[in-house]
Amino acid sequence: MLETAERVDPAFREDVLAGLSAPIPAVPARWLYDRRGSELFDEITRLPSYYPTQTETALLKQILPGVASRVPSGTAVVEFGAGSATKTPLLLEAVRPAVYVPVDISGDYLRESAAEIAGLFPSIRVEPVVADFARPFELPESISAFPKLGFFPGSTIGNFVPRTATDLLRSFRDLLGVGSQLLIGMDRVKPINRLLAAYDEPEGVTAAFNLNLLERINRELDGDIPLDAFRHEARWNDILSRIEMHLVATRDVSFTIADRRFSFASGSSIHTENSHKYGPRGSRVLLLAGGWTPIAEWNDSAGDFAVILSEA
């Protein structure tokens, strides 16, 4: 139960009402991450079938000395997202930057993780910035003179359609400046059965993560969506090279959200997330289109995941 009505983000209401009224019903993936959604995502990253986290972490352990040798000393690391408890310390240990600037929309989470990093690395100045990195924001004036390394792991870039991903990469370039560097993780195209298994596993955590969106809508937007009328589905869209998450109606269903009536026919769906997968050339073209020139690229031995260092 919400304590106060004003805790609901008006953009959530707008996105849900407009998204569910659209010819192809969809809700932007960012709304999957309320507190419960973030906990469930955390659980997903520990599932054996969700290979991206384990693979990227293992790859970073191997390659970070090579990354560090290409990064100037006295760098400021700017991480887009509050940082993972595992990957961020690995990077900071290897690069030993002068300053670490994590950027995240969730102030509470950001402050907690920034305090942890400050405890682990007393010699690194930690300057958290509360901001949605997908919208314009400013870096602390105090790091203007430092060389900068952006860090964007986890293949989060894959959650943006290519046009928006390009805009995002360009905004990172504008923010960090010419001469800066970007270290980015990108998930690779691979056999469909492995992709589907990563997004629809027997444990049902990804299903719970997807269905949690309906619970959030009911709770925050005064909805009465019957949760048992929808099921989680992961689909591979080959033309667009992406996994899509959908909530598929298991029967004809009608419900109300914020006094608006919606009807879904059995089998129709609400599209809730895209996770684009890139081949080697596709990932480089995306970076180039976003204003970044790849200078080094590392893949795990199975070719499942790539980490790419680029320069602006």
Residues within window 39-78 making contact with ligand AVI, judged by CB under 6 A: 44, 52
Q: How far is the CB of 206 from ligand AVI (least distance, A)?
A: 5
Amino acid symbol at 251: R
Smallest distance, Å, CB 155 to ligand AVI? 5
Closer to ligand AVI at the Cβ: 25 or 154? 154
Q: Which residues contact 23 (CB under 8 A, 6 or more apart)?
A: none
Per CB under 6 A, contacts with ligand AVI among 269-288 are: 273, 275
- 147 vs 153 by CB, closer to ligand AVI: 153
Q: Which stretch binds ligand AVI (CB under 6 A): 11-19, 151-159, 171-179, 292-300?
A: 151-159
- Chain mean position to CA 198: 15
- CA 206 vs. chain centroid, Å, equals 15
Site for ligand AVI in 181-200 (CB under 6 A): 199
Closest listed residue to residue 215, CA positions, set 27, 11, 14: 27
Give the shortest CB-261-to-ligand AVI separation in angstroms.
Answer: 29
Burial class (CB in 10 A: 0-12, 13-18, 19+), 118: middle
Rounded to whole angstroms, how far apart are CA atoms 273 and 216? Answer: 16
Nearest approach in angstroms of CB 209 to ligand AVI is 6
The region of 99-107, 152-160, 277-285, 303-311 touching ligand AVI under the rule CB under 6 A is: 152-160
Residue 290 within binding range of ligand AVI, rule CB under 6 A = no
Least distance to ligand AVI from the beta carbon of 195, Å?
Answer: 10
SS3 154: coil
Residue 275 Cβ, how far from ligand AVI at the closest point, in Å? Answer: 3
By CB under 6 A, which span of 56-64, 100-108, 148-156, 278-286 interacts with ligand AVI?
A: 148-156
Question: For residue 291, which of 152, 182, 196 has the smallest C-alpha distance?
Answer: 182
- C-alpha pair distances (Å), 15 with each of 8, 12, 27, 61, 233: 12, 5, 6, 39, 21
Among 83, 147, 150, 158, binds ligand AVI (CB under 6 A): 158
Task: Quote the tokens at residue 108.
Answer: 């509470």
Backbone angles phi, psi at 94, to 5 degrees: -80, -45
Which span sits near ligand AVI by CB under 6 A: 61-69, 130-138, 149-157, 284-292? 149-157
